[in-house]
Amino acid sequence: MPRKPVSVVLVHGAWADGTSWAKIIRPLAEEGYGTVAAPLPLTSFADDVAALERTLERVPGPVVLVGHAYAGAVIAAVQSRKVASLVYVAALAPDEGETVADVFYRGRPHPEAPTLAPDGHGLIYLPPEAVSTAFAPGATAGELALLTAVQRPISLACITAPVGRPAWKQVPAWFLVAEQDRMIIADNQHFMARRMQARIHARPVDHTPMVTAPDVVLAIIQEAIREAALA
């Protein structure tokens, strides 16, 4: 069976931007895959879904759609028929009627998890020390400096909106469970991955493996690409 050309769209989560995917973009580009890091405004859940839909409009299908952390909810909310598969990277996967906050705060938090609260503008910032203690503890000093410098706050409106029927109910999904995650505990990730009947890859990585363990993330994306190309 001939292989179809596949595009990859990478979606950052809270407190991040497209630079977090740098170590994934380069090898995918070298393999000849059209790859886009979709920018999310992080202003509301509806705004983020609309922004991702706009990105998908200009990307040829089929698409492997990859979401980190908060973006797991966003990638499951788009309606584009170009999406052939979903890849969750230490991500959140609320079911219909749930909010991102519902699943983020499920279970007992890791002892190193930061205390998060909105400021006077309804924006939630990651405390600076939490970048190294919880967000990306496996990162180098240079990587931590970059992650800290580009941090973007997430609006309370992103995590309090109930989601609709998620795409993972009908689209094949992969889930990288980060066993050493201090932001979203591994037990919570396993719960969500099993509930969505994803293909689970559990690895001893932290919350931001596309920075700290890119080969692990890349291997799962490549697996999803191979299947999408033959579908």
Domains and CATH numbers, the chain: 7-230 (3.40.50.1820)
Q: Is residue 230 pLDDT above 90, yes or no? A: no
pLDDT reported for residue 3: 57
User: Which CA distances in Å does 134 have to 86, 88, 179, 205?
Assistant: 25, 19, 13, 12
- The mean pLDDT value for 81-98 works out to 97
Nearest to 173 by CA among 87, 111, 72, 102: 87
Q: What is the mean pLDDT of residues 204-231?
A: 94
Tell me phi and psi for residue 143, to 5 degrees: -65, -40
Q: What is the mean pLDDT of residues 5-18?
A: 96
The amino acid at residue 103 is: V
Q: Tell me: pLDDT of 39 over 70.
A: yes
Residue keyed to tokens 């469970």: 177
Of 79, 90, 82, nearest in space to 11 by CA: 90
pLDDT exceeds 90 at position 56:
yes
Minimum mean pLDDT among 1-15, 26-40, 160-174: which range? 1-15
Q: Is 141 exposed, middle or buried, given 0-12, 13-18 or 19+ CB atoms closer than 10 A?
A: exposed
Phi-psi map region of 192: left, alpha, beta (phi>0 left; psi -120 to 50 alpha): alpha
Mean pLDDT of 113-137: 95
Question: What average pLDDT does this structure show over 144-163?
Answer: 96
Strand partners, 11: 38, 67
Residue 61: its pLDDT value, please?
Answer: 87
- What mean pLDDT is predicted for residues 52-61? 96
